[in-house]
Chain A
Amino acid sequence: MSFREKSAWITLVTVLVCFGAYFGAIATGLVSARGFDTLHLLLTCVVGLVLLQVVLTVIAAITTPKDGRAPRDERETLIQLRSQSLGYSVLVLLVLALFIPGHLGHTVIDMMNFALLDVVLAVLTVAVAQIVMFRRGA
């Protein structure tokens, strides 16, 4: 497995774990969606995400053979462009969908969480698309 594919897996897993914990805690009422608890949890999750990604990326770089760490080539660039294009489309659709909770009277904090969820889903889309294309060959 190339370093770039491992990176996509790392993004997928770390974002799922960290933001899964964040949104899970809010959805289950473990933290109030209105107080500073949410902000603290968000900061904790973001710091956790960065640390996890740094550690796992270093491990991936060390464990990947030299031929898997070559500079990005044309196929990998194509995969990156296609996946980001798909992620952008998903993000645009989800941002447009924000009008729905906006008209249902949700608070500003709720709307910020919905927007954050949109970004997270777009990032996950990019990671999944990359993994699928790496697995399929292109």
Chain B
Amino acid sequence: MDARRLPIANQIRRLRFEHGEMTQSELAEKIGMTRQTVAAVEAGKYSPSLEAAFRIAHVFGATLDEVFQWQE
């Protein structure tokens, strides 16, 4: 694992694909973030706040642990 990568995996890319190939920009607009931040979250380089994590999960109609998983 990349030393800088956070120990939190996410399924955002897959969920975007499953939701009509939603773009990062579209997701960003829905949750009130920039596309760059969505890209950073998706790449595991930035850990979003709890509120942002819930917003992301809400967009996909998923629970938090369906979107984010803790990795030891």
Contacts and interface: CB of A to CB of B under 8 A. Distances in A.
Contacts of B28: 67, 70
Given A137-B43, A138-B46, A76 B37 contact: yes
Contacts of A138: 40, 45-47
Nearest to A66: B25
Given A74-B49, A136-B45, A138-B45, A68 B35 contact: yes
B36 A2 contact: yes
Report, as a range, how many residues of chain A touch the other chain: 10 to 19
A59 B47 CA distance: 32
Contacts of A5: 36
B32 A73 contact: yes
A75 interface: yes
A75 B35 contact: no
A137 B34 CA distance: 12
A126 B28 CA distance: 26
A74 B35 contact: no
Contacts of A136: 4, 45
Given A67-B28, A67-B29, A137-B43, A74 B48 contact: yes
A71 interface: yes
Contacts of B52: 74
B33 interface: yes
B33 A73 contact: yes
Contact of A137 (B33, B35, B45, B49): B45
Interface of A: 2, 5, 67-68, 70-71, 73-76, 134, 136-138
